[in-house]
Structures are given as structure tokens and as C-alpha cells.
Amino acid sequence: MDAQYGYSENKAAKTKLTIQRVLVYTFMIVLTIICLFFFYLLFINATRSHAELQAGFSMIPSSHFFENMKSLWTNTGLANVPRGMLNSFIIASLSAIVTTYFSALCAYGIYAYDFKGKKAAEVFILAIMMIPSQVSSVGFVQMCDQMGWVNQYWILIVPGIAAPATFFYMIQHLRATLPLELVEASRMDGSNEFMTFNRIVLPIMKPALAVQLIFSFVASWNNLYLPTLLITDKDKKTLPTMLSLLRSADFTKMDMGMMYAAIFISIVPVMIVYIFLSKSIIKGVTSGSVKG
């Protein structure tokens, strides 16, 4: 009887577990379909002509994708998209490197050193996270204009040094993965502070660095607000700025097929980053969650 009772309990537990797994996987599949549906719809619209888009909604691809891409690539009157992609890539890449490196350096300095006001400095940096960037943008733009810094790539790159959210992620990662004894041992061996940081600390932080490089690149790539305010030279505009110019053009003259093609290629680099570096993202997010 006991054996039969135990067998029944195990069977019921397995059945319950199977039902839970089916529900979870069903929910994840539905959620995935919902998320990917809009990307699919964007691709469909990028393959349709302006006349077809005006005719109504469709779930079937058309044959005008390369025609739309050609129009987008050769239409340099209002927006030079190839130049915009190059500008965005340069700014996003350098901004991601600057943001990640200096945020990690700042986090290491506050984590590894004991000094008066250490806690206050960390609280101050984190408090800046609560302040919207738009609050200080007016004064920042005025300062850039007075000092002749408008239309310069580096004005969109250098401010990445001050990234409170990235700093917070880095210092949390350091607390979970870097023992201070390792830093002390490096100092006793005669290593200077920058050598310790670059040769010992940074390799330990590789997962966190990979995550923040990706996130910083995406944030800079999609940034529209500051480039719109600070970049007025047509040849220096970023891709999001050029897309906004296309959208603000005369609606009666706007080629909607070309517009959807422009939106599609603007998200391709971001999608490539996530597809090929998804393992780094997962590893970086989960690393340090359990301290050894």
C-alpha cells in the first residue's frame, strides 16, 4: 500500500510539473510571437511600395524591398543615410568605450579606496540617476554654443564619462566578484594603480564590460535628443536625426516605402549585436549574482 501510495504521489508530482512547464513554455512562445510580430510587420512594410502601403494593411511581403533601399541610398537631398550610419557608428562605438571604461574606473576607485566622503560620493553619483537629462540640457547646449563646441563629434562622446547607471552596475559587480585582497597583493608586488586596474581588475570585469559596451552602444545609436540640439551640419548628423528629417518632410512627397526601409536598416545593427552577443549579455547579467 505504501509503495502504491508513493507511486501515486510521484505520478501526481510529475503531472503537475509537466503542466507547469507547458504553461510556462506556452506563455514564453506567445510573448515571443508578440515581440517579434512588430519586427515582422516592419520588414513587410519595408518590402512594399508607397502605393501599396496607402492601399492598406498586409501580412504578405511584396517585391519592392531593394527598390526602397536603392531610393533610400541614393536620395541624399534631405538625408544622406549612408553618411548618417557612419556617423552613428563612430559616435556610438567611441561613446560605448568611453562610458564603459571610465565608469569601471570610477567604480573601482570608490570600491577599492577608503577616503573621507566615500559614501557621500557614491550617494551623490547615484542621486544623479534621478535627474532627467533634459533638465540640464538647456544649460549644456548654451555652454557648447558659447565655447564653439557645436557640430563636433566628441561633444556626443565625452559626456559618456559621466554615466551614473553604468557606474552603479560596475560597482555592484566589483563588490560581488573582486576581493580587495587581490588588489592589496598587487600593490605589494609593486604594481601601480593603473596597471592594477588595467591588467587585473578589467579582466575580472569582462562579463560586466561586455554588457555595458552593448547597452551603451545601443543607447548612443538610438540617441536623438542631444544630436538634434548639437549637430546642425548636414554631413555630421546621426542616423536617428536623419530619420526624423525624413518623417518631418512634406507628407504628400514622402515615400513611405523608403521610410520603412530606413527604419528597418536603423535597427539591423542593434539586432546583430543582440543576436551575436546574447551569451555575453546573459553571462554579464548573471555574473556576480552569487558570490563565491
Pick 57 or 288 by higher pLDDT: 57
Query: Is the distance from CB of 119 to CB of 183 less than 8 angstroms?
Result: no
Q: According to the model, what pLDDT value does residue 291 have?
A: 45
pLDDT tens for each residue of 252-279: 667 788 888 888 888 888 888 777 766 7
Residue 136, pLDDT above cutoff 90:
no
| 60 DSSP assignment | S
Q: According to the model, what pLDDT value does residue 232 have?
A: 85
Q: According to the model, what pLDDT value does residue 88 have?
A: 92
Q: According to the model, what pLDDT value does residue 280 have?
A: 67
Residue 154, pLDDT above cutoff 60:
yes
| 197 DSSP assignment | I
Cα–Cα dist 8/14, whole Å: 10
Q: According to the model, what pLDDT value does residue 26 have?
A: 93
Q: According to the model, what pLDDT value does residue 182 have?
A: 86
Average pLDDT rounded to a whole number, residues 70-87: 80
DSSP one-letter string for 210-263: HHHHHHHHHHHHT--HHHHHH---GGG--HHHHHHHHHTS-TTT--HHHHHHHH
Whole-prediction pTM: 0.81
